[in-house]
Amino acid sequence: MIDDPYNVPYQAIYAVGNADGSLVEIIEFSRCYGGSAWARHHYQKSPLVLETKVIGNTIRYLCKTGECDLVLEPSRAAAGIKSVAVHDDEIRITYAGLGGGGVGATTCRAGASGVIRSDISESGGGKVGSGTIVLPGRSRLIIGIDDTDSKEVGATWCLAHNIASAVDCDAARYLSHSIVQLHPVPAKTQNCVSTALEFACLDGGAERVLAEIRDLLIEYSVSGETGMVSLSGFDGSILADYGRECKTKVLLREYALECARSAGARVWLDGNGIIGALGAIPYVAMPDRSVGLSETNVPGELG
């Protein structure tokens, strides 16, 4: 028995905005990647969409705020994002689509976790469907972690992921995990990598989750040199130059602490691992790029 045969709700949808309200990144957790891939193919043609990318089971749309006229055409431009607006602490996204694209643009998104409310039209068949979903505005929290293991026990990327999964909550949603390859140094345990974690936070959520992560690192780390650092911001590009240095040379702890202060990053655990932890920050949400050692794998500013 299929209760709703023509609806595949997205698992969750979140939206992260920048400081001046000019940019919004929409992060959709998919239950049907085929449907999401079709949507990405068409939505990226919208004048509001600056960039799209796929990370695991999430599809991301970096958008400028505003409204545009969508010229819908079957097969070629069957659906799109019509408007993205920031109102106080809410973000409103309006979609439109033809036929099945209208179903995806309306009912499939309206039922996703993270949606506060929605206003949708009838869709499907030969009709044009449109719909607006309203999401709470969230801010991005980036956390860098390094040196939690020893030559005998553990892997930092595993512990970081398990801690992030354990503290995940509505106030601070765990979005992504990136393993960041660093320049091999004598003090490394084996592969010399750090980890970047990404959360989408409501007001007050960042402080709580940061304290929880710090406490869990203290509890489970088998190293006396664990480093943990955080940055609240739309991206980590302020540390792009430092990230390049981490991939190309040996750096000192004192230099890392100085760079953290200059960038406005907060140091939570200041062991020698702070060097790699800070180097992970600019590679947030770039897991396919961050694993390379090449100095060309340096992130740029979103948008």
**Closest Cα partner for 211 from 167, 244, 146?**
167
Under 8 Å between Cβ of 210 and 169? no
Fold of 147-290: Alpha-Beta Plaits (3.30.70)
Q: Which amino acid is at 262?
A: S
Highest mean pLDDT (candidates 95-104, 127-136, 292-301): 127-136
End-to-end CA distance of the chain: 45
Give the C-alpha separation, 291 to 158, whole Å.
15
Q: What pLDDT sits at residue 303?
A: 38
Lowest mean pLDDT among 58-67, 121-130, 170-179, 256-265: 121-130
User: What is the value of pTM for the model shown?
Assistant: 0.91
Pair of tokens at residue 282: 């600019």
* Domain range annotation of the chain: 12-137, 147-290
Under 8 Å between Cβ of 149 and 155? yes
**Closest Cα partner for 209 from 264, 236, 159, 171?**
171
Q: Pairing relation of β-strands 128-146 and 12-17?
A: parallel
Q: What pLDDT sits at residue 207?
A: 96
Q: What is the mean pLDDT of residues 170-197?
A: 84
The residues, ordered by sequence, that sit 6+ positions from 190 with a Cβ below 8 Å of its Cβ are 151
Pair of tokens at residue 164: 């992030």
Q: Pairing relation of β-strands 90-98 and 12-17?
A: unpaired
Lowest mean pLDDT among 67-81, 93-107, 202-216: 93-107
Is residue 302 predicted with pLDDT exceeding 50? Answer: no
Span 60-91, pLDDT tens digits: 999 999 999 888 877 787 889 999 999 989 99
Q: What pLDDT sits at residue 119?
A: 86
Give the C-alpha separation, 184 to 250, whole Å.
8
Give the C-alpha separation, 174 to 201, whole Å.
9
Burial class of residue 50 in the structure, from the number of CB atoms within 10 Å of its CB (0-12 exposed, 13-18 middle, 19+ buried)? middle
More confident residue, 188 or 266: 266
Task: Return the percentage of the chain with pLDDT > 90, whole number.
Answer: 70
Q: What pLDDT sits at residue 116?
A: 95
Q: What is the mean pLDDT of residues 160-168?
A: 98
Q: What pLDDT sits at residue 298?
A: 53
